Every structure is written in C-alpha cells, then in structure tokens.
Amino acid sequence: MQIIEPQKNYDVIIVGSGAGGGMATKALADAGLKVAVVEAGPFFDPADPKTQTQFKWPYESPRRGANTQRAFGEFDMAYGGWDVEGEPYNLVNGSSFHWFRSRMLGGRTNHWGRISLRFGPRDFKSKDRDGLGENWPIGYEDLKPYYDKVDQLIGVFGSKENMETEPDGFFLPPPKPRLHELMYINAARKSKVAVIPSRLSILTKRINQDRGVCFYCNQCSRSCSIYADFSSGSCLIFPAQKNGGQIDLFVNAMVKNVNVDKNGRATGVSFINKTDNKEYKLKAKVIILAASACSSARILLNSKSTAHPNGLGNSSNLVGRYLHDSTGSDRAAFIPALMDRKRYNEDGVGGMHVYSPWWLDNKNLDFPRGYHLEVWGGMGMPSYGTGFNLDDLNKHLGLELGGYGNRLREDVKRFHGAVVGISGRGEAIARKDNYCEIDPSTVDQWGIPVLRFHYKWSDFEINQAKHMHDTFEEVLTNMGGKLLGDRPGKEKKYGLHNPGLIIHEVGTTRMGDDPKTSVVNRFEQMHDVDNVFIVDAGPFLSQADKNPTWTILALAWRTSDYIINEFKKQNF
Amino acid sequence: MNRRESIKNILLGSLAGGALLRSCTTVTPDQMADVIWQYQYGRTPQEKALDEKLLNTKYFSDAERELIRVVANLILPPNESGSIEQAAVVPFIEFMAKDIKEFAVPIREGLTWLDVQAKQKYGQIFVACNPESQKQILDTIAFELPQKKEQPQEIKFFKLIRNLVVTGYFTSEVGIKELGYVGNTPNVWDGVPQDVLDEMGLAYDPEWLAKCVDQEKRNETARWDKKGNLLT
C-alpha cells in the first residue's frame, strides 16, 4: 500500500475535533503551537446553509423528520449514530452496549443537549463515601479555575444556588420557565425534590461579537447557525483559526494508529483518507487523542509495537477497561390540565429551563450514587410521530379507542402540548469487567480492527432505575398527570436503558498516580509514553450524576496548559 | 437520548411485523427531476443519494395510491384549513413504505383487504363504493378489540395507516397551521403569557424570576466580577 508522508512537522497532532479536541486546539493554537487536527468526518460549519437543518419544516423532507437516516430524526446534527455503515462493533457474552459516533468536525458537540454541569468536590472523591470505584487523583480545586475559564469563554446559563454538590460558576442568566416547567417546579417541591434553573451552554446574553444571542427556536440539536450554542467548531476551532492559529484541519481522515520510534516514543499518526482511500502519515512532537473514550482506546490498542506489545501505553492492561455510561430511564404522563391549550410560541432554548440535581443521601438507599432529573414537554414543532397512538391518551379520558374523522383531528389538536415527561440520568460505578477490546475477527471498511464490548449493569444501577421510576410517578402524579405506558418491572431492569444509549461513555483510559492501576497521570499524559495525552472522557474515573462535557473541557484546557509549559521548558 | 427520542420511545409502539419490500418500478426521468428538487434540507451526499433512490422508485400502483388517497380522506376529511391532497399525505405514505421496509407489505395487504371486502359486500372495489359503504368497511377495523391481546392484521393495518395519515397531515404546512403551532422562528422567550398563568392559577415565584434573564439587556456583553457575579 502506498503511504504518503507530508514533510511538515507539527508541534501537536490532535485526533478528534469534539469537546476535548476543540478545547486543546483553541488553547494550543492560541499559544502559538503548530497544530494538526485530524477528524474522521467531513468539515462542518453550523452556519453553512448547504448543511443547515435549523428552521427547516418537517414538510421540507419526504420523511417528515423520521429517524431512518439519523438516529434522533433527520434534522438532528449528528452524522452517524449507534450504527455507522462500514464501522461495525461486536458484543460479547450477552453484553449490551450501543456506541454512538458522530463523524463530522465538532463531533457530537453539534447535537448534544448542552447540559453543562460542573462536578462538585465530592464527585472526585466518591470512594471516600461508599468505598466503591476509585477516587480521582485531582480534586475540584484543581479544576475550578478551568471550569471558571470555560464558563467565560463558551458561555453557560444558570443561577447561583450555593449548593456544595452543584458548584456555582460564571453564569449567564437562565430563561424563565415554560408552563409545564412551572407545574414541574410545584410538583417537585411538593415531593421535596430539589429544583433549580438548568445550566446549559446556550447564550441567553451576548458574550462577544463573533457569536449570536439565543433566539429561542429550541433547535440546538440541529447546531446553531448563529453560534448561540456550544459546538466545538463554532466556539473553539473557528475562533482559534480566526485568531491566527497555525491549524491544519485534516477531515475525512480515519486515524488507524499512533506511530512510535524504536524507543517507544510517539512520532505521529497514520490515517486513511476516506476520499482517496490512501494511507497518510503525519509527524508531530506531541500526540493528543480526543477521539472519544472508545475510539481513543481503539487507536491505542491498534498501536502495537515492539516497545508496546499490548498496544500503546497499555503496560497496565487497563486500556479499554472501566468503561461506563450514565444510567438513564424515562417516563411520560398525559396532563389533562394541559389539554386545549392556548397557542403561543414556547419553543424556548433547546433543552429544559429547569432541572433537579440529585437531592438525597445515598446512605439511606439501596444504590450508592445519585441521578438528576430532566423535564420535557411543551407545544413543540410537529414531526414524524405526531398524532401516533392517540388512544394512549384517550383511554385516560374513558373514550372509545380508535376511529377516524373529525373527532380524530380534534383530538390531535386538543392533546397538543399535553404530554410531559421526566428523564433520570445517573451515575454508574466504573467496573473493570465492563470494557472494550480489539475484536480479532472483524475489521471496518478500511481494514482497521474494530472493538468488541463487554458490559453488564449491576444491581446498583438497576436499583437506581427503580428509584427513578418511584420519583417519576410521584412527581408526574403531583402534576395531575396520568402515567403513560406501564411501569417497567424487574425483568426489564426497571426501564434502565442499555449502556451507551445515554452517550456519556467514559473511563477507558483512567487517570491515576500509579502506572499499574491507571493509564494516564493527573495531566492526562500517558504513564508509558510522555508525549501522548488523552483529552476526551477516557481519563474519567467516575462521572458523577452530571453530564461529562464541561469536565472534558476543563480537563482538556488544564492539560493544554501543562503541554504549553512543557514546550516552554523544551521537554518536547 | 434527547427528549424527542425519549417521547418517541414512550409513545410509539412497534407498528408492524417484518417483511421485505417487493415489486418496485421506476419513474420517468422527468418525474425524477421534480421529486429531487422538491426537497433541499441539509443532506449529506450519502443521505441525498438514498433519498433520490427512494423518491425515484415507485412502490404503489396508481390504483393503490388512489385507494390510499380515498382512505386518507375518510380518516381526516377536508375542512376549511386543508386537505389530504394539500398536505401531500399520499406521497409521504408512499415514501415511508419504501423508507421503513416493514411498512410496505402490511400496507399493501391492508389495501387488498379493503378491496376484497368491498367486492364481497358491494360488488365493486373500495374507491367505487359510496362514502357510507366505505365507512361501514372501515368501521369494522377502526377500533381495537379490547379483549384481544394480538389484534388481527386488518386492525393493525388501520392503526398504521391512521398514524401515517395523522402524522402526514399535521406535519404539513396546512396541518401545522391548523394545529396552531407558531414556533420555528426567531423570537425572544420572556415567559408564559399572563392570561395563561391566570387561567392555570399559576404565578412566577419572585425569587426565581429575579434570577432570570432580563431580555432588555440580552445584547449587552456579559461581564462578571471575580466571584462570578454578572455585572451587566
């Protein structure tokens, strides 16, 4: 096979352009380093009208938004999904795992929920409380300055609440609650469930002249064309370029492996250019993996050499281990009081305006870690699925089920905006037995060996899901809701979603001080290879009952500062 | 999983059993150009290629399309807001029968079932019957049998076609207008209208409201003090 080797020598190669890769690009390019960003998908700019889906109507598509092409509906801005053509993965011994990949500049930050929560001090030291999992070697005080900087650079709305578990930041003001959210606040308080304004990286107020201010279309999942939400391209990579950064973007470039010299030190990466199917080699002094927890593990495990026979930086045999996703379960209810609503535009931001952080002490519960609640509902834009199975609502009104004609059309209108739901998203325990590894028998369409997954939930997560459903039922009933569907029983793990479905997979290259029990050190630098860093969610030891993105960003910035400093000291 | 997906998972049952697409014919190049240009909504080249392939494959015969049109008009009769034709429900159902392969055979078999019933009862195909006769046939499949766990095929067919007609209509321009959805446009959210709050007996908690954005100042660039207190 012909291998093409450009002569340019970079300071840093960054593999992946999502939250971690974007943050490293911004910090390192701003510091004057020569950076190559290698992204497996195409170039993407949310402002480009050619790819824009924001403000499209369902009837502009022949399938009216159905999810046959994109997992979250065809207007969602993720090129990829849990199944990506030509990029398979396998499951072992009855495991379940769903691996979401978004192949495009900015990765999954183009469509994510923008829920931007800091970890609190105790989230880094959970083992001290319950003896489970592992403490982080760093603490909140190490990351606080970076959380503060991320808040100000990117923008996040929220409110100061003085809760130890939910540290305050540099917030933009939150939007006012919608109608169903006001009902939720009352219902949550009645059950002594905490409820505060949500914290999303959406600009409710101007932060600079390069980005717009939210115009409340509810479509952050389509990636904002005026850059009023956080996507890695629009908020990190483009500003770094505009700032004069020396950045070469390689898109449609599928990284196979990291190359090493005879001493086992990294020299660059090899990738397949998807447009000509040829292999290219890039050279750099430092390699940063930000391909996502599982993709980075795959690249490392596929980078075998004499110096690293088990894969790069894998002397601990822990690369791929301790994989864990957030737990999740959901329930919806029909709220008769929300029938026959007066119509007005309540699209709001692309997510909830209020939420419930974890409010209980696990000491008194049969599961060790908490969860938060996300509430959804409202008079949203119709899409494929609108008006399906109206009988699920009609049966609560004692009406005849089925039928057609004018009564049916009136039902659709009467029920618009009358369904409210709650999602629980919680913390799972990282376990060595849940892991990904290279499948020796399968390769992807470019011949690169793929991953196979071993993953099973334990009773901790299952009991937590059961508790979630108790909460959903109580709060939704407080709202006057009629619960939809059946409560999932034990045989369905109480509705606990399969791992990977919440798309918060972390932990595959865990951080620690001991090279025998961890893969990277507290600066996300590989113990075995001092010029390889990992800035996605691989280094997470635990992920709290929070979403991982804000912590990925804070860690990536901190790691970038460390790298800049090492360059200054001429260690690279 | 995002909210829309969660709602789907909760609200949607599985619609029809597995079966493969069969008997496809191709439309003329003129018709092809028409259907491609109708849809421009931010596709990747691969997605566009699939759309074009589906749009330019004909699944239903003209007689079947006419039958779908007639049934759809019975399910949602035209009114002053719009009609099945204005909402392009038949092309939508045709597209979905190709896009979700599990739909193709149950819909075709359901359509055949309607004609068989019409011929048995009234001696002519369904579309030739008068509306009263047509409704009498639909009435036998439009309601689920509460005592049965597994519904007969023709009842499942009706549920499927009803769902597709309702979704097709209310995701169309006329249907969205009739529904009264007024969003999908730049605006400034500043809370629930007062008359709605009054009617619901709800009010904003002043302490909560004090934390919320002052939309008059949304364009003033944010600045904070060292403790993170917003100054602007």
Interface size A-B, in CB pairs within 8 Å, comes to: 313
AA identity, residue A209: Q
Q: What is the pTM of this model?
A: 0.94
DSSP per position, A530-557: TTEEE-SSTT-S--TTS-SHHHHHHHHH
Q: What is the mean pLDDT of residues A358-377?
A: 97
- What is the reported pLDDT for B39? 78
User: Which one of B91, B172, B218 has the shortest CB-CB distance to A205?
Assistant: B218
The greatest distance separating any two alpha carbons of chain A, rounded to the nearest whole angstrom, comes to 78
**Could you read off the pLDDT of A151-171 as tens digits, one per residue?**
999 999 999 999 999 999 999
B138 and A400 within 8 Å at the Cβ level: the answer is no
At B12 the pLDDT is 34
The minimum CA-CA distance between B79 and chain A, rounded to whole Å, is: 9
Q: Nearest Cα to A473, choosing from A333, A288, A299, A359? A: A333
- Neighboring chain A residues of B45 at a CB cutoff of 8 Å: none
**Residue-wise pLDDT tens digits, A245-264:** 999 999 999 999 999 999 99
In A416-458, alpha helices (H): none
Shortest alpha-carbon distance between residue B120 and chain A (Å): 23
The token pair at A521 is 């050190």
Is the Cβ–Cβ distance between A326 and A547 less than 8 Å? yes
Decide if pLDDT at A6 tops 90: no
List Cβ neighbours of A329 (8 Å cut-off, separation of 6 or more): A423, A424, A465, A468, A469, A472, A488, A494, A495, A496, A497
* Cα separation, B154 vs B161, whole angstroms: 10
Q: Which is more confidently placed, A411 or B11? A: A411
Query: Touching check for A345 and chain B: CB below 8 Å?
Result: yes
Residues of A in contact with B196 (CB under 8 A): 179, 341-342, 344
Amino acid sitting at position B194: Q
> Nearest by CB to B138, which of A175, A382, A404?
A404
User: A159–B211: do the CB atoms touch at under 8 Å?
Assistant: yes
Interface test with B, best of A70, A355, A384, A400 (most B CBs within 10 A): A384
CA distance A493 to chain B (A): 16
pLDDT at B11: 34
Taking CA atoms, what residue in B is nearest to A81? B1
The DSSP code sequence of chain B is --HHHHHHHHH-------------EE--HHHHHHHHHH--S---HHHHHHHHHHHTEE-S-HHHHHHHHHHHHHHS---SS--TTTTTHHHHHHHHHHHSHHHHHHHHHHHHHHHHHHHHHHSS-GGGS-HHHHHHHHHTTSS--TT-SSPPHHHHHHHHHHHHHHHHHHTSHHHHHHHT---SS------S-HHHHHHHT----HHHHTTS--GGGTTSPP-B-TT--B--
Q: How many CB atoms lie within 10 A of CB B27?
A: 13
How many Å lie between the alpha carbon of B31 and the closest alpha carbon of chain A? 15
Q: Please judge whether A389 and B146 are an interchain contact, meaning their C-beta atoms are less than 8 angstroms apart.
A: no
Q: What is the dihedral of CA A558, A561, A565, A567, to 10 degrees?
A: 120
Nearest of A346, A229, A73 to residue B4 by alpha carbon:
A73
Mean predicted confidence (pLDDT) in A454-472: 98
Residue B35 identity (one-letter amino acid): V
pLDDT > 70 in chain B, percent: 84
Is B96 in Cβ contact with A382 (below 8 Å)? no
Contacts of B186 in chain A (CB under 8 A): 215-217
**What is the number of other CB atoms lying within 10 angstroms of the CB of residue B66?**
15
Task: Residue B193: list chain A partners with CB under 8 A.
Answer: 342, 344
Point out the residue among B55, B181, B222 whose CB comes nearest to the CB of A381: B181
Distance from C-alpha of A229 to C-alpha of B13, rounded to nearest angstrom: 33
How do residues B147-180 score in pLDDT, each as one tens digit? Answer: 888 999 999 999 999 999 999 999 999 999 999 9
Q: Tell if the CB–CB gap between A65 and B76 is shorter than 8 Å.
A: no
User: What value does the mean pLDDT take over residues A45-62?
Assistant: 95
- Comparing alpha-carbon positions, the chain A residue that sits nearest to B173 is A59
Query: CA A82, A83, A86 angle in degrees (round to 5)?
Result: 145
pLDDT at B1: 38
* Mean pLDDT rounded to a whole number for chain A: 97
Q: Which residue, A308, A297, A302, A288, is CA-closest to A257?
A: A302
Q: Is A474 on the interface with B (CB under 8 A)?
A: no
Sign of the C-alpha dihedral computed for residues B65, B70, B71 and B75 taken in this order = positive
Whether B146 and A68 lie within 8 Å, measured CB to CB: no
Cα distance between residue A218 and residue A176, in whole Å: 14
Amino acid residing at A505: E
Of B3, B99, B185, the CB nearest to A68: B99
Greatest CA separation for chain B: 84
Torsion A386-A392-A395-A397 (CA) sign: negative
Q: Measured between CB atoms, which of B9, B39, B180 is closest to A61?
A: B39
Query: Domain segments of chain A: what residues?
Result: 1-50+82-155+230-317+509-572
Which of B7, B179, B181, B5 lies closest to A333, judged by CA? B7
Q: In the numeric block, which tokens belong to residue A172?
A: 């933009």
Secondary structure letter of residue A112 according to DSSP = S
Q: At what angle do helices B153-170 and B62-75 cross, to 10 degrees?
A: 80
Is residue A482 within 8 Å of A186, Cβ to Cβ? no
Q: Which residues of B touch A498 (CB under 8 A)?
A: none
Cα atoms in the 13 Å half-sphere on the side-chain side of A388: 18
Higher pLDDT residue, B25 or A364?
A364
pLDDT of A270 strictly over 90? yes
Which pair of tokens denotes residue A419?
């369904």
Contacts of B104 (CB under 8 A, 6+ apart): B19, B20, B21, B22, B59, B97, B98
Closest to A384 (Cα-Cα) out of A33, A80, A60, A86? A60
pLDDT interval class at B33 (50, 70, 90): low
Indicate the pLDDT class of residue B115, thresholds 50, 70 and 90. very high
Q: Any chain B CB within 8 A of the CB of A78? A: no
Q: What is the pLDDT of residue A442?
A: 98
Reported as a pLDDT band with limits 50, 70 and 90, residue B31 is low
- Give me the pLDDT at residue B8, please: 36
Q: pLDDT per residue over B168-214, tens digit each?
A: 999 999 999 999 999 999 999 999 999 999 999 999 999 999 999 99
Q: Domain A1-50+82-155+230-317+509-572 falls in which CATH fold?
A: FAD/NAD(P)-binding domain (3.50.50)
Task: Name the pairing type of β-strands A482-483 and A327-334.
Answer: antiparallel
Q: How far apart are CA A396 and CA B194, in angstroms?
A: 29
The angle that helices B153-170 and B89-99 make with each other, rounded to 10 degrees, is 120
Q: Do A176 and B204 touch (CB under 8 A)?
A: yes
Domain spans of chain B?
A: 3-179
Query: Which residues of A, range 39-58, sit inside 8 Å of B by Cβ?
Result: 42, 50-53, 55-58
Res. A352 pLDDT band, cuts 50 70 90 = very high
Mean pLDDT over A27-31 rounds to 98
Chain A nearest-CA residue for B55: A62
Q: How far apart are CA B78 and CA B71, in angstroms?
A: 12
Is the pLDDT at B17 greater than 50? The verdict is: no
Tokens 């060790």 belong to A368
Looking at the complex, does the CB of residue A205 fall below 8 Å from at least one CB of chain B? yes
Output the pLDDT for position A411.
Answer: 95
Q: What is the mean pLDDT of residues A359-373?
A: 97
Give the closest of B95, B162, B222 to A404, CB-based: B162
Chain A residue numbers with beta carbons less than 8 Å from the beta carbon of B224 are 152, 170
Name the packing angle between helices B45-55 and B29-38 (round to 10°).
Answer: 130
**Residue A176 to residue B40, Cβ atoms within 8 A:** no
Measured in whole angstroms, how far is the alpha carbon of residue A505 from the centre of its chain? Answer: 8
**Distance in angstroms (rounded) separating the CA atoms of residues A80 and A100:** 7
Helix (H/G/I), strand (E/B), else coil: A355:
strand
In B, which residues are within 8 Å of A412 by CB distance? 166, 170, 179
The Cα angle at residue B20 between residues B18 and B23, in degrees rounded to 5: 150
Chain A positions in Cβ-Cβ contact with residue B163 (cut-off 8 Å): 387-389
- Smallest Cβ–Cβ distance between B39 and the set A60, A484, A501 belongs to A60
CB contact under 8 A, B184 and A347: yes
Torsion of the alpha carbons at A512, A518, A524 and A530, rounded to the nearest 10: 110
